Amino acid sequence: MGYSTRLYAVEIATLNDAIGSCDQALLKRLQEVNQQVDEPPAEADLRGDVTLRITKEGQILFNEQPMSLDELSQEVLAIESGSLEVVMEAPWTKTHEAVNLANNETIPKSGLERVITRYESDDPQLAQYLDQTPKITWSRNELDEDETDDDLTYQPAFDISEEILSDLVSGNLNQSGAEHGYALEIMCFTLGQLLPDDDLIGDLEPLELETPLQQPRIPVPLKEYHDFPVISFLTAEEVAAEFQRLSRLNLEFPSDEDIEEAREAFFACIKIAADEKLSVVAFYH
């Protein structure tokens, strides 16, 4: 929900070899991963039990009642079950960003079963660039009685056109853009491993770790674009150096327990990649 950073341990050389390889077996694997999208059934009710609206003026309304960001976090944490409908009115304000960050931290700790997000605008010129179709952007995966956390592998939801995936495998990147960035994430998931962060890592900047992964950098020959996902990477050698640097830092963050947990999760991810002598590719969206 909201802004998040996903980290993948993968060999950069393997990604570059795959791009332009015209490997049809690989393309099929990417398509299979892409098809495993957590979409609601057609008859699903895309209205939430609780409504959170961020107005274009930056006002926070929870079930139509004004409240502060701190009050909102407490309300969300107190929800025992059901669904939350988040309505974002354009234009985007600092309040929108703050609410997204807060939701990213509090929603997984609440009893919410799913979150439905929609974007609204009364500006026709802006509305055409917004996806106003409501989407289930977060859902809690219920465990079967015979399953444990260790039995499950988290699968992000991807939804990229087959043409874009084909562009990546064929090397047709002259018109590459943001969609190809999402396709690259599918390739990282398929050829590498998604590093486990327990859904704790949102924006890297508030962690104050000064990691190079905060700076946009694309490891493969995609054209630069100014949109999500924001991509960055560390080579295997840079991962080793980053692990050594972070090992010397005090990861405690007394003023914010959530940030401290995210710092520790980030370090744990880097350690896994360093132990396996792999590169790390980060996707922020």
Residue 268 has pLDDT above 60, yes or no: yes
**Residue 74, token pair as written in the block:** 């407490």
11-35: pLDDT as tens digits: 999 999 999 999 999 999 999 899 7
**HEC profile of the chain:** CCCCEEEEEECHHHHHHHCCCCCHHHHHHHHHHHHCCCCCCCCCCCCCCEEEEECCCCCEEECCEECCHHHHHHHHHCCCCCEEEEEEECCCCHHHHHHHHHHHHHHHHCCCCEEEEEEECCCHHHHCCCCCCCEEEEECCCCCCCCCHHHCCCCCCCCCCHHHHHHHHHCCCCCCCHHHHHHHHHHHHHHCEECCCCCCCCCCHHHCCCCHHHCCCCCCCCCCCCCCCEEEEECHHHHHHHHHHHHCCCCCCCCCHHHHHHHHHHHHHHHHHHHCCCEEEEEEC
Give me the pLDDT at residue 39, please.
Answer: 47
Write down the pLDDT at residue 143: 35
pLDDT tier for residue 161 given thresholds of 50, 70 and 90: very high
- Both tokens assigned to 248: 């010397």
What is the identity of the amino acid at 156?
Answer: P
Q: State the pairing for strand pair 50-54/83-89.
A: parallel
Model's pTM, two decimal places? 0.63
Q: What is the pLDDT of residues 70-90, one digit of tens each?
A: 999 999 999 988 999 999 888
Instruction: Specify the range with the lowest mean pLDDT, choosing from 116-130, 144-158, 181-195, 247-261.
Output: 144-158
Q: What are phi and psi of 147, to 5 degrees?
A: -110, 155
For range 127-155, the mean pLDDT: 57
> pLDDT grade, residue 45 (50/70/90)?
low
Residue 129: count other Cβ atoms within 10 Å of its Cβ.
10
The separation between the first and the last C-alpha atoms of the chain, rounded to the nearest angstrom, is 10
Question: Would you say 258 and 105 are in contact if contact means Cβ atoms under 8 Å apart?
Answer: yes
Confidence at residue 92, expressed as pLDDT on a 0 to 100 scale: 80
- What is the model's pLDDT at position 162? 92
Task: Tell me the C-alpha distance between 52 and 93, whole Å.
Answer: 15
In this predicted structure, the answer to whether residue 253 has a pLDDT above a threshold of 80 is: yes
Q: How confident is the model at residue 207, as a pLDDT?
A: 96
Predicted local distance difference test score (pLDDT) of residue 157: 82
Query: Who has greater pLDDT, 191 or 154?
Result: 191
Q: What is the mean pLDDT of the chain?
A: 87
- Characterize the bridge pairing of strands 114-120 and 83-89: parallel
Burial of 212 (0-12, 13-18, 19+ CB in 10 A): middle
The answer, yes or no, to whether residue 187 has pLDDT greater than 50, is yes
In the chain, % of residues over pLDDT 90? 65
